[in-house]
Homo-oligomer: A and B are copies of this chain.
Amino acid sequence: MTSDNLPQAESAIDIDAQQIRDTIRDAIVERRLAPGTKLSETDVGSLFNVSRTLVRAALQALSYEGLVSVEKNRGAFVAYPSVTEAQQIFATRRLLEPVILREAAPNIGKAEIKELRKLLADEERLTNQRGAPARRAEIKASGDFHLAVAGMSGNAILKRFMDELVARSSLVIALYGQSVISSCGHHEHQQIVDALEKQDIEAACRLMLQHIDHIEADLDLRPARKGSDLKDAFQR
């Protein structure tokens, strides 16, 4: 595996570490890069036409976000979340998202509802489009909804925590998702906005939790796969 499935370099002159990080992150979140994929410093560097220095910085940052795991003397790989990690990611979302909704609710007025509805419209449009690029954009759009709500909390720290959780969720879905669609039920986002518009925060929280449950229900988080129990993977 060489550079083939990395996003093509921005031919724009003067790339910096942050742009590399963002590009790789997008590729991971949109599942163009599969979990476990090796991210060789030289390969990535030549894609972006930069030295390993900048690549290392980008990979280090991504490692802090939990999207990349770097193993000493072995290199960086797209993270491969364990079942336990996957469970913790969703457990944390279940704990945090209602809290965020309650924080955001007082700040959600007409303008904010409008902004959310615009995101929903984008999602809808992508849902009706076909082809891989639309699927990828849909994945991202679905996450953007959750992030937009977090942003409305006005708390930058909560927002950052959600950034991380949403991004890592994408990896978990890539690994353990069963149905092809896998991304959030777009309809549920709509219901949440409806509840928010009516200022019914309790309903919004309830719907949010159900929504997270639905995402998680589509995952196959039984043990195994984890390398150790290969036998019953073949046993059938």
Residues of A within 8 A of B (CB): 56-57, 60-61, 64, 85, 88-89, 91-92, 95-96, 99, 103, 155-158, 161, 165
Q: Kindly report which residue of chain B lies nearest to residue A155, judged by CB atoms.
A: B88
Nearest B residue to A164 via CB reads B157
CA distance A19 to B48 in the complex (A): 31
> Which label, helix, strand, loop or mixed, suits the secondary structure of the A interface?
helix
Residue in B closest to A158 when the chains form the complex, CB atoms: B92
Report A56 CB to chain B, min CB distance, Å.
Answer: 8
Of B60, B99, B157, which contacts A99 at CB under 8 A? B99
Cβ contacts under 8 Å, A57 to chain B: 56-57, 60
Chain B residue nearest to A65 in the complex (CB): B64
Q: How far is the CA of A91 from the CA of B156 in the complex (A)?
A: 11
Cβ contacts under 8 Å, A96 to chain B: 99
Q: Are B161 and A91 closer than 8 Å at their CB atoms?
A: no
A156 — nearest CB in chain B belongs to which residue? B88
Q: List 24 A-B contacts (CB under 8 A).
A: A56-B57, A57-B57, A57-B60, A60-B60, A60-B61, A61-B64, A64-B64, A85-B156, A88-B155, A88-B156, A88-B157, A88-B158, A89-B157, A91-B155, A92-B155, A92-B157, A92-B158, A95-B99, A95-B103, A95-B158, A96-B99, A99-B99, A157-B165, A161-B161
